[in-house]
């Protein structure tokens, strides 16, 4: 019997080796080390499939591989800091998603980077390899501290890849912004990690000695100042949430994500679909047993999510650049996932994470294909009529857009509908959650509108520039990934047809529900039912009981999506579309400038300059002062004391004698000779 779980570290290490190979020898390899990356991610993907099959067979793993530090904690227990793997249905699913998207992005990069004659390819493929490896390490992490480390590595890689074209002015600045803004959130996350370790003496995710289990049992080693457990759990949960808000680009730390479009398009696909942005939501899902204990934290998550979903969607409406629209759609869709998590819809959130990973990777790669065809012009007003020139791109992109807009029966419809349903049935009596639900519902037509505005402007109508009339063709390495993802965007929704099951009463077609509920085996305490039991919510149905609510909810969201689509068709589905944004008047400027949030953040940065100044004085004066003081004291002392080395032997003798006499005197006095 081969133990598949002993190969789990290899899933993480294979892309890491491709990083080393591309970095060290990429110059001497064909295609700048691309094949190493493709082979590594393909290997990881196959191993992940094997792991998925094994988990489906009822086996799971929760092991510590290496303990790198152990010490006495604040409480009675020892704190052990370790690396380990946790493979349960959730992480096995995520492994497959991440490795598949990474593999397709690597293949696509052959077309987008190599064929376009980019320079610095070894650096690019090294970055992709490390990015994939860090995300995979984050996915299999069995404790919060390890997760934090890989979380930071993911942030570092995003910095390296967003700033890939470092000779232009935009990318380095966007990279710095992404790094700093997410780091601001990670700062709270770090405090949260320390708080968890101090409170429970462990940061394990799973098992009877894990921190969610201890929190559930109320066994804490320490709380600050006799705070009530509930309050303290809420505070810790919100601290960790800081990192999530930063990485998953939730309001108000979403500003880095649109700027991150400066990176190469395949990188955007990787960031948005499978790695960095997904990391935040995955983290909440990973420690959901802890969040479920705190109604306040859940409500905050739901409200932030719903607000972000609507807020980002409105900004997507006025953007002119293809990738900008997609960027805001990503923020908005992750808002939905947060709404689901906050509403107690653990499965719905993971479902949307899965479907979104596929259709958003598809949309970004499709956009990449359009950008190749358009000679790197991203302005949608220069496009038009690409439908007949790029049929493969068009039909796959359309599938992705239908999924994003939530049109039946594409993947996004099922997951978004389930999110709204979960929010709706849990909302009565929860004002924050209800607010989140309303905003999420409002975002549905907006999403459909901007998605199809994008589709119509890009692919339909008359070509509006010379490049659009004669676009550059794309090769198999672009079409291949698009086709795979296009098929997935159509069918992924069928893994979890809850509405059909509820309405028609067919049992067993809600595969993802069963999967996450440990139907085929899993780890005790990490099942969706357990989370539902822990959570504060009870379900209340509208007219017609459960079936009626399902039908009404689905009909409303589908109707709203179709309305948005129809409006986009009406306005932009014409041969020569014109800008209609001027009708919005002043609102257009506000939307176009992202609600002036960037300006607000810069203003805040200037207002808090004094704080930074004080911190600077503390750092330079106290911290550096101590270090410099020690060195200057020894320097000065040495400078003075060396003067007694005069070179005159007699003086040395005299000192020697004096020293001896002094020694004898001291020994004499302490030894009691003279008493």
Partner 1 sequence: MTAVAASIPPSWYLLLAATMFCVGLLGVLTRRSALYFLMSVELMMNAANINFVAFALYYGDLTGQVFALFVIALAAAEVAIGIGIILVLYRNFGVTDVTVPTEMRW
Summarize as ranges the residues that interact with partner 1 (CB under 8 A). 642-643, 645-650, 653-654, 657
Least CB distance to partner 1 at residue 9 (A): 58
Least CB distance to partner 1 at residue 146 (A): 54
Least CB distance to partner 1 at residue 641 (A): 10
Quick one: 612 or 654, whose CB is closer to partner 1?
Answer: 654
Half-sphere exposure in the Cβ direction for 355 (13 Å, CA): 37
Quick one: 70 or 653, whose CB is closer to partner 1?
Answer: 653
Least CB distance to partner 1 at residue 647 (A): 3
Quick one: 622 or 648, whose CB is closer to partner 1?
Answer: 648
Least CB distance to partner 1 at residue 22 (A): 54
Token pair, residue 504, equals 């028609």
Contact between 128 and 104 (Cβ < 8 Å): no
**Whole-angstrom Cα distance, residue 420 to residue 438?**
9
Q: How far is CA 296 from the centre of its chain?
A: 23
Least CB distance to partner 1 at residue 644 (A): 9
Cα separations (Å) of 429 from 381, 417, 433, 435? Answer: 46, 21, 9, 11
Least CB distance to partner 1 at residue 121 (A): 58
Closest alpha carbon to 376 in 101, 147, 115, 568: 115
**Whole-angstrom Cα distance, residue 657 to residue 663?**
10
Closest alpha carbon to 212 in 67, 88, 66: 88
Query: What residues form DSSP beta bridges with 62?
Result: 86
SS3 81: strand
Closest alpha carbon to 383 in 73, 394, 644, 125: 394
- Answer whether the bond into residue 409 is a cis peptide, omega within 30°: yes
Least CB distance to partner 1 at residue 635 (A): 14
Cα separations (Å) of 306 from 309, 334, 338, 417, 540? Answer: 5, 9, 8, 14, 20
Quick one: 621 or 671, whose CB is closer to partner 1?
Answer: 671
Quick one: 167 or 643, whose CB is closer to partner 1?
Answer: 643
Task: Name residue, tokens 């596929």.
Answer: 358
Least CB distance to partner 1 at residue 646 (A): 6
**Whole-angstrom Cα distance, residue 248 to residue 621?**
37
Phi/psi at 133 (5° precision): -60, -40
Quick one: 227 or 655, whose CB is closer to partner 1?
Answer: 655
Least CB distance to partner 1 at residue 124 (A): 57
**Whole-angstrom Cα distance, residue 60 to residue 617?**
52
Quick one: 72 or 637, whose CB is closer to partner 1?
Answer: 637
Quick one: 119 or 653, whose CB is closer to partner 1?
Answer: 653
- Answer whether the bond into residue 252 is a cis peptide, omega within 30°: yes
Quick one: 2 or 648, whose CB is closer to partner 1?
Answer: 648
Quick one: 538 or 653, whose CB is closer to partner 1?
Answer: 653
Quick one: 656 or 666, whose CB is closer to partner 1?
Answer: 656
Token pair, residue 538, equals 């009870």
Closest alpha carbon to 202 in 297, 73, 87: 73
Least CB distance to partner 1 at residue 640 (A): 11
Dihedral over alpha carbons 420, 425, 428, 429 (to 10 degrees): -100
């Amino acid at each position: 019997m081969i133990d598949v779980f002993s190969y789990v570290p290899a899933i993480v290490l294979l892309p890491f080796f491709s990083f080393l190979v591309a970095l060290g020898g990429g110059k001497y390899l064909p295609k700048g080390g691309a094949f190493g990356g493709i082979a590594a991610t393909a290997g990881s993907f196959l191993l992940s499939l094997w792991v998925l099959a094994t988990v489906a067979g009822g086996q799971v793993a929760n092991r510590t591989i290496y303990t790198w530090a152990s010490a006495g904690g604040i409480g009675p227990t020892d704190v052990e800091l370790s690396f380990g793997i946790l493979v349960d249905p959730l992480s096995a699913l995520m492994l497959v998603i991440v490795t598949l998207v990474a593999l397709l992005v690597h293949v696509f990069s052959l077309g987008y980077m190599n064929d376009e004659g980019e320079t610095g390819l070894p650096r690019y493929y090294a970055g992709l390899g490390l990015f994939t490896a860090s995300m995979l390490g984050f996915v299999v992490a069995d404790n919060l501290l390890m997760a934090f480390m890989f979380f930071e590595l993911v942030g570092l890689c995003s910095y390296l890849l967003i700033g890939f074209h470092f000779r232009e002015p935009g990318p380095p600045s966007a990279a710095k912004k992404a790094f700093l803004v997410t780091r601001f959130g990670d700062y709270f996350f770090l405090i949260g990690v320390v708080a968890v370790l101090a409170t429970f003496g462990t940061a394990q995710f799973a098992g009877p000695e894990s921190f969610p289990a201890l929190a559930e049992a109320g066994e804490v080693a320490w709380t600050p100042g006799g705070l009530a457990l509930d309050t303290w759990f809420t505070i810790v949960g919100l601290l960790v949430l800081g990192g999530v808000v930063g990485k998953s680009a939730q309001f108000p730390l979403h500003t880095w994500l649109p700027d991150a479009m400066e990176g190469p398009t395949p990188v955007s696909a990787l960031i948005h679909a499978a790695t960095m942005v997904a990391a935040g939501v995955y983290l909440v899902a990973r420690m959901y047993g802890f969040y479920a204990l705190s109604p306040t934290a859940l409500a905050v998550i739901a409200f932030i999510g719903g607000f972000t979903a609507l807020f980002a969607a409105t900004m997507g409406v006025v953007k002119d650049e293809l990738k900008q629209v997609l960027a805001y759609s990503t923020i908005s869709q992750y808002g939905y996932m947060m709404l689901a998590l906050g509403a107690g819809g653990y499965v719905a959130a993971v479902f949307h994470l899965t479907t979104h990973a596929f259709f958003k990777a598809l949309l970004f790669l499709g956009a990449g294909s359009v950008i190749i065809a358009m000679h790197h012009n991203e302005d949608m007003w220069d496009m038009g009529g690409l439908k007949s020139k790029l049929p493969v791109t068009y039909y796959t992109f359309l599938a992705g857009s239908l999924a994003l807009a939530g049109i039946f029966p594409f993947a996004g419809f099922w997951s978004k509908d389930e999110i709204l349903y979960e929010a709706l049935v849990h909302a009565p009596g929860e004002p924050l959650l209800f607010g989140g639900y309303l905003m999420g519902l409002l975002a549905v037509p907006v999403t459909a509108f901007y998605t199809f505005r994008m589709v119509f402007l890009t692919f339909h109508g008359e070509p509006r520039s010379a490049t659009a009339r004669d676009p550059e063709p794309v090769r198999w390495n672009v079409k291949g990934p698009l086709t795979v993802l296009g098929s997935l965007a159509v069918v992924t929704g069928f893994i979890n047809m809850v509405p059909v099951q509820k309405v028609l009463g067919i049992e067993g077609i809600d595969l993802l529900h069963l999967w996450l509920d440990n139907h085929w085996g899993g780890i005790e305490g990490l099942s969706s039912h357990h989370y539902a039991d822990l959570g504060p919510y009870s379900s209340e149905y509208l007219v017609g009981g459960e079936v009626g609510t399902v039908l009404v909810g689905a009909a409303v969201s589908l109707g709203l999506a179709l309305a948005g689509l129809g409006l986009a068709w009406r306005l932009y589905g014409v041969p020569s579309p014109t800008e209609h944004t001027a009708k919005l008047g002043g609102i257009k400027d506000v939307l176009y400038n992202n609600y002036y949030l960037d300006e607000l953040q810069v203003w805040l940065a200037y207002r808090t300059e004094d704080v930074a100044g004080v911190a600077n004085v503390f750092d330079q004066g106290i911290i550096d002062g101590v270090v410099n003081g020690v060195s200057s004291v020894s320097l000065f002392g040495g400078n003075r004391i060396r003067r007694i080395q005069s070179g005159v032997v007699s003086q040395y003798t005299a000192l020697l004698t004096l020293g001896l006499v002094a020694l004898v005197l001291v020994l004499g006095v302490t030894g009691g000779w003279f008493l």
